[in-house]
Amino acid sequence: MRHDGRRADELRPVRIERGFTEYAEGSVLVSFGRTRVLCTASVEESVPPFLKGTGQGWVTAEYGMLPRATHTRTPREAAKGKQGGRTLEIQRLIGRSLRAVVDLAALGERQVVLDCDVLQADGGTRTAAITGAWVALADACDALVARGVLEASPVRDQVAAVSVGLVEGEVLLDLDYAEDSSCDTDMNVVMTGAGGFVELQGTAEHGAFDRGALEALLALAEKGIGELLAAQRESRA
């Protein structure tokens, strides 16, 4: 039994609220328990310089955290004048994860920007962001189809993410902040609807982990991601 009453292999309550804001082509407030991330998808009729004239599109992400998303206030990155390493690392991860399931040629020479802003942070913000951003992205692509810009959505598959960890020898699914802070190994897993791995990032916070632990962590992640993929489908049904 975990400190919040969950079983080891249990996700926190997942909530995917579409249309949370009105202007973005896709807008999703995703919650993994207390972690709440607003994911908006913005379609722009331009691409980064390295794609100009190629006919190919791009999907990218930016990540931010409101200063008081956290237990104690974190200084605002805009006021500090730069984004931290953690922020850059996470937004690169979100972008790569989404691009893995989009046919960029089919998107055409335009860009979809996913802004993932954490309103409240209780662990797992990056995995919630990927899971929610996919829904926003899919909605934005559907809107392009509905407006007649594209014939079919360039989104080829779902993608979702979850964290798993080793806490005092036990394998846990979807760590909250308290568990994340005390775990020995922490792994973020990103998988497609078809069951393939897109990203795997495991870190031994204390000591190291072995092949057996890795197997157990991956099995748990697969279970969790299966449920998240279902939640994504349900939200768009």
- Using the rule CB under 8 A, which residue among 195, 230, 233, 234 binds its own copies? 195
Q: How many residues bind its own copies (CB under 8 A)?
A: 65
Cα separation, 127 vs 32, in Å, equals 9
Length of the chain: 237
Backbone angles phi, psi at 135, to 5 degrees: -65, -45
**Is residue 87 close enough to count as binding its own copies by CB under 8 A?**
yes
Comparing C-alpha atoms, which of 29, 27, 40, 33 is closest to residue 10?
A: 33
Tell me the two tokens of residue 6: 């969950």
Torsion of CA 11, 177, 16, 226, to 10 degrees: -30
The region of 11-19, 78-86, 126-134, 145-153 touching its own copies under the rule CB under 8 A is 78-86
- Using the rule CB under 8 A, which residue among 82, 151, 169, 237 binds its own copies? 82
> How would you classify the pairing of strands 35-44 and 111-120?
antiparallel
Q: How many CA atoms lie within 13 A of 119 on its CB side?
A: 12
Cα separation, 149 vs 59, in Å, equals 17
For residue 168, the minimal CB distance to its own copies (Å) is 17
- Using the rule CB under 8 A, which residue among 106, 143, 214, 216 binds its own copies? 214
Comparing C-alpha atoms, which of 217, 212, 125 is closest to residue 166?
A: 217
**Is residue 88 close enough to count as binding its own copies by CB under 8 A?**
yes
**Is residue 106 close enough to count as binding its own copies by CB under 8 A?**
no
Subset of 108-147 contacting its own copies (CB under 8 A): 113, 115, 117, 119-120
Residue 144: count of CB within 10 angstroms of its CB: 20
For residue 76, the minimal CB distance to its own copies (Å) is 6
The region of 11-19, 161-169, 208-216, 225-233 touching its own copies under the rule CB under 8 A is 208-216
- Using the rule CB under 8 A, which residue among 62, 109, 142, 180 binds its own copies? 62
Cα separation, 52 vs 109, in Å, equals 8
For residue 235, the minimal CB distance to its own copies (Å) is 19
Sites of contact with its own copies (CB under 8 A)? 21-24, 27, 34, 36, 38, 40, 42, 44, 62, 64, 66-73, 76-79, 81-89, 91-92, 96, 100, 113, 115, 117, 119-120, 187, 191-192, 194-204, 206-211, 214, 218
